Structure 1
């Protein structure tokens, strides 16, 4: 791994690394915050998945997570949202697809299948890499995210309940297979057979029998994407029917920005910490 940057924060260390990814067949970048508690032994891991058009940098600059992570003794890892770089297929004029819009799935359609394998990268390759280099307790992992990243966090947790002890989301895309801003990406990455899309749709996964111990979701009522793209009531209905405990809070007046995410970031980290830490 190549260390890109490192700085001290709240007694811990905020770092950014680049490495060659075999899964995505290109260099990938991620950020990691290591709390001071690593001096006493391995700490739990909380994965944060960012949304459309973002990279690891957005939450680093705007997410305000380090104080809560340091207070709770939790490492936070922020992967990128897609493969990037020369030779990587992209549609630069379409913010809902390509670079910055990997949707945390493994593409099956050419020319995207070679590089756009974000599910395997987040689930398998990056955890294996960080476990070799940092004092992390990989038996205690949680996952959360924003928008497209909230979608990714919930679907990964549903499919890997033994991996992720806790899961939460800010304004997640709850049913991407039917949302106008995600259907085109699903068809391009996964092909026209919509039955294959179910593996990356939270409501479909729940309908197909996947379960979570519990789930925390915050959503702003002034979010411009609420009605057409996010639709938390679809996730709420799926959880009610499956008897999954869902704590869904509609935050009056909040929009889709990191002003919303940062406001409730500490609450989410505390929620995860109570599930990841003993006692």
Structure 2
């Protein structure tokens, strides 16, 4: 593992590392914010943040404005890239498929299957790596994300409740099996059998898995230009049907971008801090 960049930030450090991933069969990068306590060797709760389409491991660190409060709360923040990358990695025909658009699933179809193993990369490989290399409190790890990454956060949490103790999302793709983004990605990555898609759809998963978390938090802008792709009401209905507590907050005037995320970032960090202490 190679340290690529290190910057002091709110008495902690924002870093970027690069390493050769066994899951992705390519070199990959991830960002990590280490509060002062973690730099001193004190174990801290940690949050994985999964970014949206076209983003990289650095987008969250630059745009989300999360480090100030994370430093106060003593939270480690981990931000992986959104897909495998490199000349040998398959590229898509548009920004919503291929590099920058891994959808946090394990692809089964060609030409994607060799490298696009994002679920395994995050929930197994990177999850183990950060615990081995940094002062992460093992039983206090949460996950959150935005858009495609919100889909990833919800589905990975629902599939791995033994690993992720808390979950929240900004404008997540709640029912990818029922929107153009998800239909395109799942069709290419997983094949035409839509029965296989349900294992990667948060709305379908919560209906099967039941109530796994004390609470799930979602924030959604009502001026979101991609609102028709996101389907938060379907996820709300699925949660209600199984008794999964969901706080779905919809906000007039906010769109899909990082100004929206910045506005409610403190709420999410505080939400996770409480959940991870429980």
Q: TM-score range by the shorter chain?
A: over 0.9
Does the Cα contact within 8 Å between 2:41 and 2:135 map onto a contact in 1?
no
Does the Cα contact within 8 Å between 1:158 and 1:211 map onto a contact in 2?
no
Match of 2:224 in 1: 223
Distance 2:112 2:265 in 1: 33
Distance 2:55 2:136 in 1: 26
1:209-251 Cα shifts (integer Å, max 9, x gaps): 3433120000000001112x00110111111111110000001
Does the Cα contact within 8 Å between 1:217 and 1:248 map onto a contact in 2?
yes
Does the residue aligned with 1:248 lie in a helix, a strand or coil?
strand
Distance 2:171 2:31 in 1: 22
Deviation at 1:171, TM superposition (A): 0.1
Does the Cα contact within 8 Å between 1:159 and 1:210 map onto a contact in 2?
no
Does the Cα contact within 8 Å between 2:211 and 2:245 map onto a contact in 1?
no
Match of 1:74 in 2: 75
Distance 1:56 1:26 in 2: 15
Match of 1:84 in 2: 85
Unaligned runs of 5+ in 2: none
Distance 1:59 1:158 in 2: 23
Does the residue aligned with 1:27 lie in a helix, a strand or coil?
strand
Deviation at 1:189, TM superposition (A): 0.3
Match of 2:202 in 1: 202
Deviation at 1:163, TM superposition (A): 1.1
**Which stretch shows the higher mean deviation, 37-46 or 106-115?**
37-46
Distance 2:212 2:71 in 1: 27
Deviation at 1:207, TM superposition (A): 2.0
1:11-41 Cα shifts (integer Å, max 9, x gaps): 1010000000010000010000000112251
Does the residue aligned with 2:58 lie in a helix, a strand or coil?
helix
Unaligned runs of 5+ in 1: none
Moved over 6 A (4+): none
Distance 1:161 1:59 in 2: 24
RMSD over aligned CA atoms reads 1.0
Structure 1 length as normaliser, TM-score?
Answer: 0.97
Deviation at 1:137, TM superposition (A): 1.0
Does the residue aligned with 2:178 lie in a helix, a strand or coil?
coil
Distance 1:191 1:152 in 2: 19
**Which stretch shows the higher mean deviation, 191-200 or 33-42?**
33-42
1:50 aligns with 2:51: yes
1:163 aligns with 2:171: no
Distance 1:171 1:67 in 2: 23
User: Structure 2 vs 1, CA of residues 210 and 84 (structure 1 numbering), >3 Å: closer, same or farther?
Assistant: farther
Distance 1:212 1:195 in 2: 23
Structure 2 length as normaliser, TM-score?
Answer: 0.97
Match of 2:135 in 1: 135
